[in-house]
Amino acid sequence: MADNTAYYGAYLPLVVMLVVGAALVVAMFAGNRLLRPTHATREKLLTYECGVDPVGEGWAQHHVRYYVFAYLYVIFAVDAVFLFPWATVFGGLGWVSVGEMAVFIGFIAVGLVYAWRKGVLTWT
Amino acid sequence: MPELLEVLVRVAIVIAAFLVLPLIVGQIEHKTMAHMQSRVGPMYAGAFHGWAQLVADGVKFVQKEAVVPAAADRQVFKLAPAVAMLPYLVAFLAVPLGPGLVGQDLDLGLFFVLAVMGVGVVGTLMAGWASANKFSLLGGIRVAAQLMAYELPFVLAAASVAMAAGTLSLLGIVEAWNPWWLLWQLPAMVVFFVAGLAELQRPPFDMPIADAELVFGPYTEYGGLRFAVFLLAEYAGIVLLSALTAVLFLGGWRGPFEEQLGWLWTLAKTGLVAFVVVWIRVAYPRLREDQLQRLAWQGLVPLALFQLAITAVGVVVMAS
């Protein structure tokens, strides 16, 4: 338990920082509230669309191709989780460990090559 | 009790740095860009070469009306600037200036900073969604796509340094740093810096903002102090990226007279990288959205994987 206390103790300043930071933001906007004018008119609160009245809703439909990038990211995001712990110890494990990691990342890289060859990275 | 006091002092110093360093970078950007474009930039505020321009901006921002569009998702809209800024503030805590000069030394420093930097972009996404504006939404989706594309090479390049140093502690990485890393880790440095620029949505990677096509992307509906907080977050991001590049790849406080002047070396290297960030903004035109994605997936990711291979081989050869 004693070791754990020291370990978590290192994160105490982070908690303090978050609290103080949040207080800082609150103070900034409280100052803003005291100093600012408020003259809301219907026109001013209208959604901005280059100076003309907005057409339809702001939450419009969008092209699906962005979706593919999310998939590509998920392919790789997993390997970063394994890569960092491995990075600190592999020097002592030698070539076998490097080979294993190469196989692992190689599998993932095949996914990228597949997407590349499928042409999802090129728009026309 | 003295412990808590010490923590508070450290937090206060980090907050002071967070509020001052981004302004210095902003002022340098004003003046450097101006002179690169044969202008003089701000000259009036503060009398001497407009040094107080950003202070004057701040005074103005705090007095401006806070407009929330009627169609917007009010709570998310108001929360977004704070979500964009606070992660950078927390990340500042873990960045070391010198051997003992750090807000808080974490065993997982590198991992922590990368994770926290990723959260900052959520603020921009929230802004893009909550504004209920077509331009904001388009910008927000571009932010999401850009973040996902560039997070990967960014993390892989950082992993390369962690492999070379054998630790995730930022202090440990600088201790393990050796001048020949400048060559060995050069591809990683390029990947890290370019991907970092893209994560901060700095030109030439500012498609989410793209003022010529999307008005101002996710920030279109923002004004006054909320907009100022987004700006502060962006410049804090530049400082953080520059400091991380200096610490991970340029040896942080290592240099002549490092015993006495270590912190100055870190600051000088950070300043140099920040200057390059500004320089690149002036020098390159914006990429198109699909060019941006191709640069990440077909350029930076393979390069980062190549670097991982070089690093792995180098470490094992030196260990045996």
Q: pLDDT averaged over chain A?
A: 78
The verdict on residue A93 lying in a domain is yes
Whichever domain contains A14, its CATH number is 1.20.58.1610
Question: Where in the sequence is the domain holding B16, given as residue range(s)?
Answer: 2-319
Cβ atoms of B126 and B83 within 8 Å: the answer is: yes
What is the mean pLDDT of the segment spanning A39-63?
75
What pLDDT, on the 0 to 100 scale, is given for residue A100? 82
Place A110 in a pLDDT band, splitting at 50, 70 and 90: confident
Question: Where in the sequence is the domain holding A16, given as residue range(s)?
Answer: 2-118
What is the domain count for chain B? 1
Chain B residues in contact with A28 by the CB 8 A cut-off are: 62, 225, 229
Tell which of A69, A100, A104 to mutate to test the B interface (max B CBs under 10 Å): A69
CB atoms A13 and B313 under 8 Å: no
What is the mean pLDDT of the segment spanning A107-121?
80
| Helix residue ranges per DSSP H, chain A | 2-9, 12-35, 66-93, 95-118
Helix (H, G, I), strand (E, B) or coil at B192: helix
What pLDDT, on the 0 to 100 scale, is given for residue B98? 76
The verdict on residue A58 lying in a domain is yes
The verdict on residue A37 lying in a domain is yes
Those residues of chain B that have pLDDT short of 70 are 1-2, 103
Round to whole Å and give the CA distance between B253 and B256.
Answer: 9
A2: pLDDT strictly greater than 60:
no
Query: B215: closest CA among A46, A48, A54, A52?
Result: A48
The per-residue pLDDT for range A6-27, each reduced to its tens digit, is: 777 778 888 888 888 889 889 9
The per-residue pLDDT for range B160-184, each reduced to its tens digit, is: 888 888 888 888 888 888 888 888 8
Q: CB of B105 within 8 Å of any CB in chain A?
A: yes
A1: pLDDT strictly greater than 60:
no
What pLDDT, on the 0 to 100 scale, is given for residue A124? 59
CB atoms A47 and B69 under 8 Å: yes
Checking B289-292 for CB contacts under 8 A at 24+ apart, the result is: B289/A123, B289/B142, B289/B145, B289/B207, B290/A121, B290/A122, B290/A123, B292/B146, B292/B149, B292/B198, B292/B205, B292/B207
Token pair in block for residue A17: 């920082």
What pLDDT, on the 0 to 100 scale, is given for residue B276? 92
Chain A, chain B: beta-carbon pairs less than 8 Å apart: 199
Q: What is the CA radius of gyration of chain B?
A: 20
The verdict on residue A69 lying in a domain is yes
What is the domain count for chain A? 1
What pLDDT, on the 0 to 100 scale, is given for residue B138? 83
Cβ atoms of B274 and B283 within 8 Å: the answer is: no
The verdict on residue A48 lying in a domain is yes
Tell which of A42, A47, A53, A123 to mutate to test the B interface (max B CBs under 10 Å): A47
Q: What is the ipTM of this complex?
A: 0.79
What separation in angstroms does the CA of B170 have from each of B104, B108, B212, B261? 11, 8, 40, 19
What pLDDT, on the 0 to 100 scale, is given for residue A58? 67
CB atoms A36 and B159 under 8 Å: no
Token pair in block for residue B146: 């850009």
The verdict on residue A124 lying in a domain is no
Round to whole Å and give the CA distance between B294 and B290.
Answer: 6
